[in-house]
């Protein structure tokens, strides 16, 4: 169903852009654009309904996101989305073999009018990463996806990155806290903690700052699960 909608959407959009003055008896450009918008919104509505059916709302004040690929009992493992819904997301992971590689974890409100869908998605070797797909509900469009957590290794080196969605600056919007730990042959060689706050005026997570305050760092350094 979504495949047919996507094809129709592409045809309508191309037709709308290809002519400045439609011939007599044909649809006007504005009508074609309106039809394309209607098809896009219909496709998005179906996708959103499916994601919300598969995964729960995430409502805690502090939402901890981390890689849980190997633990099917963990909530961060998620549930595999359908092949039809996967077509929407595959465009972001074209170099990864097809299969049950995208999983719905949950969804939450980032700011008024912005919903983040949390998915486990392909990374370097497997579906170990956690990404946010944020939708602007007011203007009906998706923001570029943001990979916020992951964990993998290679030849003695490994890293893990956790993330937290929390209103750190108490402005009513969820910000992004990330902690990354790098390990080289059993020796920790890196440990960073940073805060990226939500910029509602620009529809995305914006400025990045390292958390240096000892009290703030302790909250997230100790909170591993």
CB 163 within 8 A of CB 176: yes
- The answer for residues whose C-beta is within 8 angstroms of residue 60's C-beta and 6 or more apart is none
- pLDDT top residue among 167 and 9: 167
Q: Report d(CA 198, CA 184) in Å as an integer.
A: 33
Residue 37 has a pLDDT of 58
- pLDDT top residue among 109 and 154: 109
CA separation, residue 216 to residues 134, 170, 222 (Å): 26, 14, 11
CB 206 within 8 A of CB 144: no
Q: Give CA 21 to chain center in angstroms.
A: 39
* Mean pLDDT in residue range 169-191: 92
Q: pTM for the whole thing?
A: 0.78
Residue 31 has a pLDDT of 56
Token duo for residue 93: 């992971």
Residue 70 has a pLDDT of 82
Residues 51-86 pLDDT 10s:
999 999 999 999 999 998 888 889 999 999 998 898
CA separation, residue 170 to residues 17, 64, 76, 127 (Å): 44, 18, 26, 33
Residue 35 has a pLDDT of 55
Instruction: Tell me the backbone φ, ψ of residue 137, rounded to 5 degrees.
Output: -70, -25
Residue 65 has a pLDDT of 96
* Mean pLDDT in residue range 116-134: 93
Fill in the DSSP letter of residue 71: -
């Amino acid at each position: 169903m979504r495949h047919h909608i996507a094809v129709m959407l592409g045809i309508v959009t191309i037709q709308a852009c290809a002519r400045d003055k439609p011939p007599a008896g044909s649809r006007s450009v504005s009508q074609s654009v309106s039809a394309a918008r209607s098809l896009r919104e219909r496709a998005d509505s179906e996708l959103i309904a499916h994601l919300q059916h598969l995964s729960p709302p995430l409502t805690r004040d502090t939402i901890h996101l981390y890689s849980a690929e190997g633990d099917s009992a963990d909530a961060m493992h998620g549930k595999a989305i359908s092949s039809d819904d996967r077509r929407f997301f595959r465009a972001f992971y074209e170099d990864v073999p097809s299969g049950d590689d995208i999983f719905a974890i949950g969804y939450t409100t980032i700011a008024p009018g912005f919903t983040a869908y949390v998915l486990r998605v392909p990374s370097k070797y497997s579906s170990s990463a956690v990404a946010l797909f944020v939708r602007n509900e007011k203007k009906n469009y998706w923001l570029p996806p943001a990979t916020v957590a992951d964990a993998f290794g290679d030849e003695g080196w490994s890293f893990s990155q956790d993330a937290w969605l929390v209103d750190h600056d108490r402005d009513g919007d969820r910000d992004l806290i990330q902690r990354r730990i790098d390990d080289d042959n059993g020796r920790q060689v890196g440990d960073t903690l940073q805060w990226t706050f939500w910029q509602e005026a620009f529809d995305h997570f914006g400025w990045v700052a390292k958390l240096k305050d000892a009290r703030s760092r302790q909250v997230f350094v100790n909170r591993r699960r």
